[in-house]
């Protein structure tokens, strides 16, 4: 070999470049490969040229040895991004559920703790500071009387009139020294919370209200309402049945009073849009009822919402009702006044002692136990002296009846009415 220089012994740059680019013929390729097998320098040239060609597509200032970073979506750190989003979503959802549960919690708590916290009004001591802050036992509405639910047939229940209007008045037990407005407020709050599902479920759709001009609903909506109403009715009956089993002693006090057949018959429901003022005596808590309804004693006059509508002997809808003590007065659409002494189980019609058409009933004062005779009223009616009035017990409560001419009559027992 007569090599003039080391450089001349190697293939030129074009041959090596063409070898890397597979641009040589088979013969030329074999020659270059044979040289590469024995020449480390040319192997290094070919390898470096190949690396430079691969790095040529990258940035100018990036050496070939530098490993290009992976694509952003392949970086492992970004795996935590969807995981963090999912965790945040889960935490938010759980917080929202807990918050909603807390919002509904007080209602449930009041209803469930009602029997345990309630005490008979007769045995309650003067309210302490804590008692003033907490709702009184009697303020918690008791479930509707068991006998009402028991004697109401399902057909009558389905033809229930409109739910209790918001203008319903509530009367609290006449506990001496008790804060009546506060109790009344609490009654309203708890009553709304407790009755809201039933009111919503039992709210008749407009097309079921006779004589009412309401927008028509589609047939599927009516069917859905019927299904929802039946479901709510079943739940309500189950709840009443359970309450009835607990309140067996309360039921015994009404055993002797059989409801007339006419009451149990499902009459035409009153117009759903009729406004009624219903004030009934609420049943005391279950554990205090035996004492409160002992023979010879009268349940205190408490106000609550009757869960079941009143069925008057006339079959007409109630336009106004009021309760005091154990008395329950109601005026139907014809203006007839009815009196019930057993919380609406039996009714007797009161003879008309007023002029015009009776349209409204109100209660004045507080009924505490038995009704007191109001000498001032009677004296006003009979013209008695003021001396007798001083000897007579003070008037605690009385009923007022208004006719369509805005004239008022008063009564303490619901049977005898005198002009005011």
**Footprint of other proteins (CB under 8 A):** 1-4, 7-18, 20-25, 27, 30-31, 33-41, 43-56, 58-65
> Least distance from C-beta 69 to other proteins, angstroms?
17
Give 11 or 284: the residue with its C-beta nearer to other proteins.
11
Give 22 or 130: the residue with its C-beta nearer to other proteins.
22
Give 49 or 246: the residue with its C-beta nearer to other proteins.
49
> DSSP letters along 7-67, please?
GGGSPPHHHHHHHHTT-S-HHHHHHHHHHHHH-HHHHHHHHHHHHHHHHTTS-TT--TTSP
Please say whether the beta carbons of 348 and 338 come within 8 A. Answer: yes
Tokens of 71: 């694509």
> Least distance from C-beta 95 to other proteins, angstroms?
53
> Least distance from C-beta 55 to other proteins, angstroms?
4
Q: How many residues does the chain have?
A: 420
According to DSSP, the β-strands at 358-365 and 348-350 are unpaired
Number of Cβ within 10 Å of residue 67's Cβ equals 7
Which residues are within 8 A (CB) of 292 and not within 5 positions of it... i.e. 6 or more apart?
120, 121, 122, 284, 299, 300
Element containing residue 362 per DSSP (H, E): strand 358-365
- CA dist list (Å): 227 to 164, 198, 202, 233, 240: 21, 14, 11, 10, 20
Tokens of 40: 């480390």
> Least distance from C-beta 75 to other proteins, angstroms?
23
CA 275 to chain CA centroid, Å, is 23
Could you give the CA distance from residue 188 to residue 195 in angstroms, rounded to a whole number?
10
Query: Closest Cα to residue 342, out of 104, 66, 151, 158?
Result: 151
Could you give the CA distance from residue 28 to residue 176 in angstroms, rounded to a whole number?
121
Number of Cβ within 10 Å of residue 199's Cβ equals 17
> Least distance from C-beta 35 to other proteins, angstroms?
5
Give 49 or 189: the residue with its C-beta nearer to other proteins.
49
Give 21 or 245: the residue with its C-beta nearer to other proteins.
21
Give 37 or 391: the residue with its C-beta nearer to other proteins.
37
> Least distance from C-beta 29 to other proteins, angstroms?
9
> Least distance from C-beta 72 to other proteins, angstroms?
23
> Least distance from C-beta 70 to other proteins, angstroms?
18
> Least distance from C-beta 91 to other proteins, angstroms?
47
Give 30 or 83: the residue with its C-beta nearer to other proteins.
30
Buried b (16+ CB within 10 A) or exposed e, 262-271: ebeebbebbb
Give 28 or 341: the residue with its C-beta nearer to other proteins.
28
Largest alpha-carbon pair distance within the chain?
A: 160
Give 35 or 420: the residue with its C-beta nearer to other proteins.
35
């Amino acid at each position: 070999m007569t090599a003039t220089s080391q450089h001349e012994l190697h293939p030129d740059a074009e041959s090596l470049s063409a070898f890397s680019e597979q641009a040589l013929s088979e013969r030329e390729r074999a020659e270059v490969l044979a040289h590469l097998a024995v020449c480390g320098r040319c192997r290094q040239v070919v390898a470096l040229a190949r690396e430079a060609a691969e790095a040529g597509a990258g940035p100018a200032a990036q050496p070939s040895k530098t490993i290009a970073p992976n694509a952003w979506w392949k970086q492992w750190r970004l795996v935590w991004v969807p995981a963090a989003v999912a965790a945040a979503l889960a935490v938010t959802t759980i917080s929202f559920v807990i918050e909603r549960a807390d919002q509904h919690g007080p209602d449930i708590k009041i209803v469930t703790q009602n029997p345990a916290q309630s005490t008979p009004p007769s045995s309650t001591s003067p309210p302490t500071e804590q008692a003033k802050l907490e709702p009184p036992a009697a303020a918690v509405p008791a479930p509707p009387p068991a006998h009402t639910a028991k004697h109401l047939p399902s057909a009558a229940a389905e033809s229930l009139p409109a739910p209790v209007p918001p203008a319903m008045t509530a009367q609290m037990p006449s506990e001496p020294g008790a804060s009546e407005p506060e109790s009344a407020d609490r009654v309203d709050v708890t009553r709304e919370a407790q009755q809201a599902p039933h009111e919503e479920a039992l709210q008749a759709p407009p097309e079921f209200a006779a004589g009412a001009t309401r927008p028509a609903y589609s047939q599927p909506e009516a069917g859905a309402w019927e299904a929802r109403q039946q479901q709510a009715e079943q739940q309500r009956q189950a709840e009443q049945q359970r309450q009835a089993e607990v309140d067996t002693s309360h039921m015994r006090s009404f055993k002797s009073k059989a409801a007339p057949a006419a009451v149990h018959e499902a009459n035409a429901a009153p117009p759903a849009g009729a406004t009624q003022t219903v004030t009934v005596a609420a049943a005391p808590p279950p554990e205090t009822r035996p004492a409160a309804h002992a023979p010879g004693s009268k349940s205190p006059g408490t106000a609550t919402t009757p869960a079941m509508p009143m069925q008057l002997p006339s079959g007409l809808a109630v336009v106004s009702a009021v309760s005091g003590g154990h008395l329950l007065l109601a005026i139907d659409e014809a203006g007839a006044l009815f009196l019930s002494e057993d919380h609406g189980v039996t009714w007797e019609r009161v003879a008309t002692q007023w002029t015009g058409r009776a349209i409204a009933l109100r209660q004045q004062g507080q009924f505490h136990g038995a009704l007191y005779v109001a000498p001032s009223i009677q004296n006003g009616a009979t013209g008695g002296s003021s001396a007798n009035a001083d000897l007579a017990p003070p008037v605690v409560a009385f009923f007022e009846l208004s006719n369509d001419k805005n004239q008022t009559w008063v009564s303490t027992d619901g049977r005898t009415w005198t002009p005011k």
